[in-house]
Amino acid sequence: MKTFTHVEHNHDFKNLKTINIEGKRYYDVEEDLKLPSITSITGSLPEKLKSLREWRERIGAKEASKISVQASRRGTKVHELIENYLNNDLDDKFVLGKDMFDTMIPVLDRIDNIYEQEVPLWSRELGVAGRCDCIAEYNGVLSVIDFKTSRKLKRESWVTDYFLQACAYSKMWEERTGEAIDQLVILIAVDNNEPQVFIADSNEWYDELKSVINENRQRVRQGT
């Protein structure tokens, strides 16, 4: 089993309390500053909501809810296993999600020089906050790394929301630390398949990210 190096740094990231405002997750950043979760914003993209609605109608609400709950539990466990593995503290006993985690080991082993895991970040400029899975080098390049699970293989065109989310984390990190991160890495554990790796340049997604955030603000103002 690989031993991962963790980088010591002088950046201080205070924990951010999450609160619910009108059914949406916000982060309590400062006394007078409550910022929406970037995952809430990317998860409410019209095309994503349309796709989810069509899926629920196709298989039925009851079955869709069952699948969603199971996927959420397994996804949480896979994230926990990945975090422990990168912390050099993996309990190797059989647990929920262990089969999916095992397929991820070859791509996880491309990670090293880990700066942070599950780090709370926010941006006053973008007006969003969130918790990033991992800031580390991937194939030797400092990256924002996000871990996902999926029941089936995805096309790159289907993971727009993942790239937008990771781009937001890169800008939050830069605003909080002064260090730019250009590489975005999305690692997806897939049922009964090899993991998928998607890599992009954050600069190619920044304009679309700002547009999505602004459109979300307009929808909130209009109550839609």
Number of H helices, E strands in the chain: 6, 8
Helix (H, G, I), strand (E, B) or coil at 83: helix
Sheet holding 17-21, edge to edge: 17-21, 24-30, 33-36
- Which residue do the tokens 């996804």 mark? 75
Q: What is the CATH number of the domain that holds 85?
A: 3.90.320
> Does some domain include residue 8?
no
Sheet holding 128-138, edge to edge: 111-123, 128-138, 141-150, 183-190, 196-201
Cα–Cα distance for residue pair 83/93, rounded to 1 Å: 15
The structure's pTM equals 0.89
At 151, list the tokens. Answer: 């029941």
> Does some domain include residue 1?
no
Which pLDDT score is estimated for 43?
79
Q: Other C-beta atoms within 10 Å of 124: how many?
A: 14
Closest CA to 147 of 182, 180, 103, 181: 103
Give the confidence band of 220 by pLDDT, cuts at 50, 70, 90.
confident
> Does some domain include residue 161?
yes
What is the chain's mean pLDDT, rounded?
A: 88
> Does some domain include residue 44?
yes
Question: For 51-67, what is each residue's pLDDT tens digit?
Answer: 555 556 676 766 656 66
Number of domains in the chain: 1
Q: What b/e string do you get for 95-119 counting C-beta neighbours within 10 Å, with b at 16 or more?
A: eebeebbebbeebbebbbebbbbeb
Cα–Cα distance for residue pair 21/34, rounded to 1 Å: 10
Q: Which domain holds residue 76?
A: 17-222
Answer whether residue 46 shows pLDDT above 70: no
Give the confidence band of 76 by pLDDT, cuts at 50, 70, 90.
confident
- DSSP 8-state symbol, 79: H
> Does some domain include residue 9?
no
